[in-house]
Amino acid sequence: MKLAHTLIFAACLGVPATAAHAQQQFVNVLTGGSSGVYYPLGVAMSQLYGKALPEAKIQVQATKASVENLNLLERGRGEIGFALADSVNDAWTGVAEAGFPKPLKKIRAIGAIYPNYIHIVARADSGIRTLADLKGKRISVGAPKSGTELNARAVFAAAGLKYADFAKTEFLPYSESVELMKNRQLDATLQSSGLGMAAFRDLSTTIPVVFIPVPADVVAKIGNPAYQASSLPAKTYTGQDAAVPTVAINNILVTHDKVTAATAYEMTRQLYDNIDQLGNAHNAAKTIALANAASGLPIPFHPGAERYFREKGLID
């Protein structure tokens, strides 16, 4: 389900009207589903931008996340958006199966932020305890060709599984998947998100669930450097008393080449100069580190972002 939530902010910092009109007049922040992590962080970013960008109208748009965001940015229908690193790489090179029939050559990097973690959560009464146990079960894998669904394909292929192995495969995002699990219409779901995702916090406090491990040897078989072996820390969710091995994939903030250098610089500066404020919006943002923001990016920087990182001494 596609949602459209809009927050409008306008601020004038007393600069001359001619300077204000030279700035980007609209900044559309492309996020994800409203029950995920991208959306509350996008709202927090919009508040920072509303104070910093003179006379700019700041809009926050809920989307299907990575793949949709990248395609919207390529068409100039957003100024900054969240996306997973593997989706960004596929967009730049043009991977049709990933939702990018042609390379997206207008997209540019703002910077790396926090990692997403693969969450595979099952009803405790489903009998699912391992990836192999998913065979013959009813599972949801995210919206079709979303970043989450691309992650699901990669993880399941590495584990020797395919969608045909499941009794039923639903292509639904966080909130819809959780509701079906509560109603006993699904046994499990795979979703890619930052730690402490609201929909899974809600699920784990409503019914007994288990988080299914993705062992390091399975991660290695994916064969993509964007996928790193990691773990969900103990007690991230109710009833999850031990760390759970899984996959981590970096998130990247992306813009496009038609955004002015001044606007891209300010969007970058406001983000990385105010990490603590973003952490107040969602715990996942507390892992954002300026030191890591300019590394491991599969696409070129926007010149405005590049200027910021040069000033910080992170790139030459």
pLDDT above 70: residue 3: no
**Residue 145, pLDDT score:** 79
6: confidence class by pLDDT, cuts 50, 70, 90: very low
CB count within 10 Å of CB 258 equals: 11
Where are the strands (E) in the chain, listed by range?
26-30, 57-61, 80-84, 107-123, 138-140, 168-170, 188-193, 209-211, 228-232, 244-256
**Residue 5, pLDDT score:** 41
Pick 258 or 174 by higher pLDDT: 258
* Mean pLDDT of all residues in 212-232: 95
Q: Assign domain 17-114+250-311 one CATH number from 3.30.565.10, 1.10.10.10, 3.40.190.10, 3.40.309.10.
A: 3.40.190.10
| Residue ranges covered by each domain of the chain | 17-114+250-311, 116-249
- pLDDT tens for 251-288 read 999 999 999 999 999 999 999 999 999 999 999 999 99
Domains 17-114+250-311 and 116-249 share a fold: yes
* Mean pLDDT of all residues in 83-105: 95
**Residue 31, pLDDT score:** 97
**Residue 17, pLDDT score:** 36
Q: Are 96 and 64 a contacting pair, CB within 8 Å?
A: no
Q: What is the pTM of this model?
A: 0.83
190 vs 266: CA distance, rounded Å: 35
Architecture of domain 116-249: 3-Layer(aba) Sandwich (3.40)
DSSP annotation of 14 reads S
What's the mean per-residue pLDDT of the chain?
91
33 vs 42: CA distance, rounded Å: 11
**Residue 25, pLDDT score:** 82
pLDDT above 80: residue 24: no
Q: Give the whole-number percent of the chain exceeding pLDDT 90.
A: 84
**Residue 19, pLDDT score:** 42
143: confidence class by pLDDT, cuts 50, 70, 90: confident
Q: In DSSP terms, which residues pair with 84 in a beta bridge?
A: 251
Q: Are 103 and 92 a contacting pair, CB within 8 Å?
A: yes
**Residue 7, pLDDT score:** 41
**Residue 263, pLDDT score:** 96
94 vs 72: CA distance, rounded Å: 15
**Residue 142, pLDDT score:** 92
Q: Give the whole-number percent of the chain exceeding pLDDT 70.
A: 92
225: confidence class by pLDDT, cuts 50, 70, 90: confident
